[in-house]
Chain A
Amino acid sequence: MDWLTTALILLPVGGALLIWIVPLNPFAVGSTALLVALAEVGLWIDAVSKFDFSQPGLQLDQQTSWFSDLHVSYHVGLFGFSLWLVGMTVVVMAAAIAYAFWAGRDRPRAYYGLMLLLTGALVGVFAAQDLLLFYVFWEAMLIPLYVLIGVWGGAGRLRATIVFVIYTMAGSLLMLASIIVLGLSQGTFDMIGSGTNGSDWIFLGFAAAFAVKAPLFPLHAWLPEAYRESSAEVSAVLSGIVSKAAAYGFLRIAIPKFPGPTSDFRIPILVLAGCGLIYGSLLAFRAPDLRGVIAYSSLAQLGLITFGIFAVNDLGLNGAVLQMVNHGLISATLFLLAGGIERRAATGELARLGGMARGRPALATVLMTTGIIALAVPGSTAFAGEFAILSGVFFTGWGWAVVGAVAIVLAAMYMLRLISAVLHVRPGASVSEAALDLRPAELGILVPLVACLLVLSAWPAAITDRSFVSSPSAAVRQVLP
């Protein structure tokens, strides 16, 4: 029995309720939300200090019966790799809330309440150890996102929300069918200590939900609109964290629970991931605006992470976890930067941007650093992650590694195109001389994110050595102890 994981879930929810119930002025609302988000980071640091990385199995867990006749319980806890994903979540959410606070949002009580609620739901997804509870948190993510995009989004937001909801719910309901069948057939909904299953159909139900949310290649139609119409910090959360929840689902449920179907469908999934990787990279290279580049690069990166996961070996899985954290931090930083640039130039179109480096050293430095890390320059943490993934997938077949390597070259192309289109070339039509450099507040938000990336670049083993005890593939294959 340990309340820490529950506290991680309930603290932001409590913060949300506080904001909704107590009438505060807008400034107090924003600062309360930020304080709660920072307290959440503190709580996570506490969890890291209490976590014993040399012990296998679930830690900081808590279980209480929810309804006993169908053996459903409130069961939460953390594994090494979920701890890192939770860490990435709380850091990115804190940055997103801080950014919203700095940028100012209408109807702050509703807005920050929903952001905090979303934090709780995301942490819940990474911590849930009961299938139905997992589904509850999974769906709970959708409601705040739906409202956040639909109310505070751009002009095309209504259409974006409809497409987003239709896609994700179609996947989720298939997953619910799978959960019902799986849970009732094995007599318990608990994920710990229940055996594996060999049904292809149940596996596909889960895979559908995860593939939509990630998104994997042909199911990504909701992505560009949702990422473009959201406010910058919501896009950061969508591409940074929500997509990782899907990758986590593959890693935590789809593979360990279904070893047989995994090996049946491994190759088709790798093919889809490869298509997404190349196609996403090409689209990112062709995208006319900032958000488009980051959105499609997110599609590509998720393909790469799926490569690592479905390599199902030590290198691939370790690399995938590292790359999940990396990409969460990178894409959040990039989206927040894009938000800052759009505020200055009133557009995100690359053709109308340019020359922003001159006289704006802070912006240039932060964007350059993030971009360089994103394109996986040797020495960066993204390089460590991608290298591990590629060497992992190499054991499946050298062709996969070639596809991955090609994508890394493409990543360099689209990131450099983004950097030069914003910072270099001649000053764009929408960039006025008066446009300011990054303000201290923005630096206060972005520098910690970049600092996390730099720390990981210096020490990627912090994550790869501490995600799984001993061999991850053995651990995953044996249904995570």
Chain B
Amino acid sequence: MRLANACAALMFVGIAVYALLAGADFGAGFWDLTAGGDERGRAPRAQIEESLGPVWEANHVWLIFVLVTLWTAFPAAFAPIMSTLYVPLTLAAIGVILRGAAFAFRKASETLPLRRWFGATFASSSLLTPFMLGAVVGGIASGRVPAGEQSGDVLRSWLNPTSMLGGVMAVVVCAFLAAVYLAADSERRGRPALVLFFRRRAIASALVAGGVALAGVFVLQHDARTLFHGLTHRGAPLIAVSAVAGAATILLLVRARYAAARVSAALAVVAVLFGWAAGQYPYMLEQSVRISDAAGPHATLVAILVVLGGGSLLLVPALVWLFVLMQRGMLVAEH
């Protein structure tokens, strides 16, 4: 029981880090898409390419981390989630392929028509993946994934109000994180025009995220009562933290405190994710499968924790080095 909770907590940390890092990479795709024509969009697109290039692949691996931990530690949750929600998951995977490949292709191409074409693919697939993953979360959180070997309703499990809320929320939150990070990156590189460009967008997306969250209250109240109860009881403090951190981010952006805004934006997102986790606890699949029910045998949980512990000894220093080099401007594309 305690081991299973530890594995679930670590997996959730993976989800949160994926949301914070890869989420921002997807959000950057949104701003790439809406940056305007070739001339007007040149500077923001260059900033996006610079900020993503060295890190997006490492950020992406958190998704693998989550999937692998889920199937090894909680096979009884992994199997039904994947089979019932295979449609949005397949679409999310397609988005992952197109986004990654197109981003790499764009970087390696010189001619404008090709760059434009790859850029459009990169940007639009950056919307697809977070939307679909948000829909998957909505399906799980609203208790639409039945336990056992029989798959549930493969359409209504994600074509439902909570999933749509999850999808929209994911896209908006990714865009919000990206805009805040990119404003901070632009400031550090001394590009005031870009700072303003991304600041405007960060504030706007924060407001939109707040609006979607308020609308979400009504959606969840009607469509996902158990989740709603969890969020307003056990999860309530975290949801409150998220709201405060979101508001603080807007304030910090207005005052041009970008480094601090980055932290509070991340806090707002992490708090809402953990609010979801707290609201759903102890269930992995609402109403039927508890964390302890889904967990694999004791020996496997121990092995997983050993691997995660040992792996972190290698991973954390490498990751820290990557981000330090990034912050110091040591990682740049050649010209």
The answer to whether A and B belong to the same complex is no
- Residues of B whose CB lies within 8 Å of any CB of A are none
